[in-house]
A and B are shown apart, each in its own frame.
Chain A
Amino acid sequence: MNILTCVKRVPMTGGTIVLTADEQAIETRHLGFTISPHEECGIEEAVRLVEAHGGESVVLTLGPAEAEEQLRDCMAIGAARAIHLVTDGEEWDPQATAAAIAAAIHADGTAFDLILFGNESADAGNYQVAIRVAYALGLPVVSGIKGISVADGQVRCERESNGGRDVYEVPLPAVVSVLEGLNLPRYPSVPGRMRAKSKPVAASTPPRRESRLARRRLVVPAGQGKQAEILGHGPDAAPRVVEILQQIGLL
């Protein structure tokens, strides 16, 4: 089966977020980059499904030229090739993103059986690109999935709900958005990284639809300037900790 997994390059933000002077982006000069956690599980799942059922795993991103680093990471884990929709680095809104991805899937021509997304990106968290792509392609879409199995031309999806799991059975081809916890993603091996260097990346520059969810500025929320009352150092602090627990009424 042929599987496409869509990923997004995001900064590793660490403990505090610092914005650029124009308040349009996170200051990333001193940050590394990765893909959203849900998508790491998507890439891993695609590799496992192709190992079990045969076929090809392809990775796609829409992002700046530097996002090739994330595509190589995904190919190091097992994706066979990559599709890179190159932007000028500015973030696209969900409608523009989905339109470009749907057009790229058409243009690629591969009959993908499964198109995987993270349920939401780590940074923007718009919760809608997978669903918009599915509508553009006329495919069924299942969201928030933590269990996938494929048999007899169907994908069986499990989604956590009220302490149990709801099951969806959908005919392929289908779009599925996944959540972290779907699997434990592997780390890329050194030979995997070597092989990834020579795998093909098809880069193109898609036209951009006008933003209809238009960012004006970013704001770091207030209330992050709190400073903890230090109860003590090392094991000697234990009696003060227990006093606090008693004060709150938990002991």
Chain B
Amino acid sequence: MAVLVVIEHVDGEPTEPSLQALTFARGYAVDGAPGEPVHALAVGLAPRGLGELGVGTVHLAEHDAFGSYAPAAVARSVVETIQRLAPSVVVAAGSELGNEVMAHVAAMLDLPLAANCISASGDEVTRIRWGGSLLEEATVHSDVVLLTVQPHAVAIEKAPVGEPAVERFTPDLLPADLAVRVTDRVEAAADGVSLADAKIVVSAGRGAGSAEGFGIIEELAALLGGAVGCSRAVTMSGWRPHTDQVGQTGTKIAPEIYIASGISGATQHMAGCKGAKKILAINTDPDAPIFASADYGVIGDLREVVPAISAEIRRVKGA
């Protein structure tokens, strides 16, 4: 039985979460026999380098409409390939677009979909809830298991099988498949280090006390060349814009170090900073849950500790 993987790509370059999904799919034990070449599906262009990752065949959907993203049109291509190939499992990245396309596929076929899985075997999956703070073991009752893979749950591993065969097809799109598509683009003015890509993030929660209280956070972030973050409580109080919010419903960060001050460590927040290599927590409460997720801790009021760190950095740099 075949395994089909939906590949997201940017101008032919597969996205990292797609390659992770491919690695995940390859290890998928189908009838107890993992390791067979997998089938990939892409729209527009054949993604590069898939033979290195164990892909035997690329099903390439070509259509004039693929110039701009239309989720249902991509989903229709997946549905046609499922009907032609009759795979036992269809895997995509648990990215924003991957989850969207697979939900369309699931709705078109009225099949169950398990989103953001971290492992799977047969029809049994383990998927994340609460942004990763809780796991769910579930059974997918379907002849075709549809699932998406939580980004960064598996590392990309190569498994060269030579140049894959490319099978081109033109999906039979319905007018409704093109009713929702990107029709325009608004570019944002780039300002400073983006939170998602920052190597250092300095953030504060309600403990900052006010919008003005973030002055010392901005100062430390600037000294370190990092970005400013905040908790949901801060955004909801209107002290910082939502673009600064780290968390399950904010930005997911992956810095070398995350300096979290005056943040208790609610699951909502911690879901956004799981990718941080190190976490330094500053909090007045030694029992704050964040100390159970942090590498380093300072017990104290951020309004005293943060300026002291800035002063020490200036002293060291000046020396």
A residues apposed to B, CB below 8 Å: 13-17, 26, 36-38, 93-95, 98, 120, 122-128, 131-132, 134-136, 138, 140-144, 158, 163-171, 179-181, 184-185, 210-221, 224-239, 241-242, 244-246, 248-251
* B166 proximal to A (CB < 8 A): no
Are the CB atoms of B266 and A131 closer together than 8 Å? no
Are the CB atoms of B103 and A128 closer together than 8 Å? yes
Are the CB atoms of A37 and B99 closer together than 8 Å? no
A167-B182, A244-B280 as given contacts; A238 in contact with B311, CB under 8 Å: yes
Are the CB atoms of B176 and A140 closer together than 8 Å? yes
Q: How far is the CA of A238 from the CA of B310 in the complex (A)?
A: 8
A158-B186, A212-B141 as given contacts; A251 in contact with B292, CB under 8 Å: no
Please name all residues of chain B whose beta carbon is closer than 8 Å to the beta carbon of A36 when the two chains form the complex. Answer: 249
Q: Nearest CB to that of B187 among chain A residues?
A: A164
A-B contact pairs, 18 of them (CB 8 A): A15-B265, A123-B130, A125-B128, A127-B115, A140-B179, A166-B69, A168-B181, A180-B249, A181-B245, A213-B114, A218-B135, A225-B292, A230-B286, A231-B296, A238-B305, A238-B308, A245-B257, A250-B256
A37-B249, A131-B100 as given contacts; A122 in contact with B305, CB under 8 Å: no
Partner-contacting stretch, out of B36-44, B47-55, B235-243: B235-243
Partner-contacting stretch, out of B1-9, B105-113, B206-214: B105-113
Are the CB atoms of A251 and B313 closer together than 8 Å? yes
Interface of B is mostly: mixed
A125-B115, A180-B242, A218-B129 as given contacts; A14 in contact with B139, CB under 8 Å: no
10 smallest A-B Cβ distances: which pairs?
A: A15-B289, A235-B308, A181-B242, A228-B297, A167-B184, A128-B103, A212-B112, A238-B308, A228-B294, A135-B107
Q: How far is the CA of A26 from the CA of B136 in the complex (A)?
A: 11
* Minimum CB–CB distance for A102 against chain B, Å: 11
Please name all residues of chain A whose beta carbon is closer than 8 Å to the beta carbon of B254 when the two chains form the complex. Answer: none
Are the CB atoms of B134 and A221 closer together than 8 Å? yes
Q: Chain B, 283-319, contact with A by CB distance < 8 Å: what is the 0/1 string?
A: 0001011111111111111001101110111001100
A126-B115, A181-B243, A225-B292 as given contacts; A215 in contact with B107, CB under 8 Å: no
Q: How far is the CA of A120 from the CA of B248 in the complex (A)?
A: 11
* B183 proximal to A (CB < 8 A): yes
Are the CB atoms of B135 and A128 closer together than 8 Å? no
Please name all residues of chain A whose beta carbon is closer than 8 Å to the beta carbon of B311 when the two chains form the complex. Answer: 238
Please name all residues of chain A whose beta carbon is closer than 8 Å to the beta carbon of B317 when the two chains form the complex. Answer: 251
Are the CB atoms of B176 and A131 closer together than 8 Å? no
B residues apposed to A, CB below 8 Å: 69, 71, 96, 99-100, 102-104, 106-108, 110-116, 124, 126, 128-142, 148, 176, 179-188, 190, 194, 199-200, 224, 232, 235-236, 238, 242-243, 245, 248-250, 256-257, 264-268, 278-281, 286, 288-301, 304-305, 307-309, 311-313, 316-317
Interface of A is mostly: mixed
Are the CB atoms of B129 and A229 closer together than 8 Å? no
Please name all residues of chain B whose beta carbon is closer than 8 Å to the beta carbon of A237 when the two chains form the complex. Answer: 298, 300, 305, 308
Contact of B300 (CB < 8 Å), options: A163, A185, A233, A245 = A233
Are the CB atoms of B278 and A229 closer together than 8 Å? no
* Minimum CB–CB distance for A215 against chain B, Å: 5
Contact of B256 (CB < 8 Å), options: A143, A210, A227, A248 = A248
Please name all residues of chain B whose beta carbon is closer than 8 Å to the beta carbon of A238 when the two chains form the complex. Answer: 305, 308-309, 311-312
A37-B249, A134-B107, A224-B292 as given contacts; A214 in contact with B141, CB under 8 Å: yes
Q: How far is the CA of A37 from the CA of B245 in the complex (A)?
A: 13
Are the CB atoms of A163 and B194 closer together than 8 Å? yes
* Minimum CB–CB distance for A177 against chain B, Å: 9
Q: How far is the CA of A228 from the CA of B293 in the complex (A)?
A: 7
Are the CB atoms of A226 and B294 closer together than 8 Å? yes
Q: Nearest CB to that of A234 among chain B residues?
A: B300
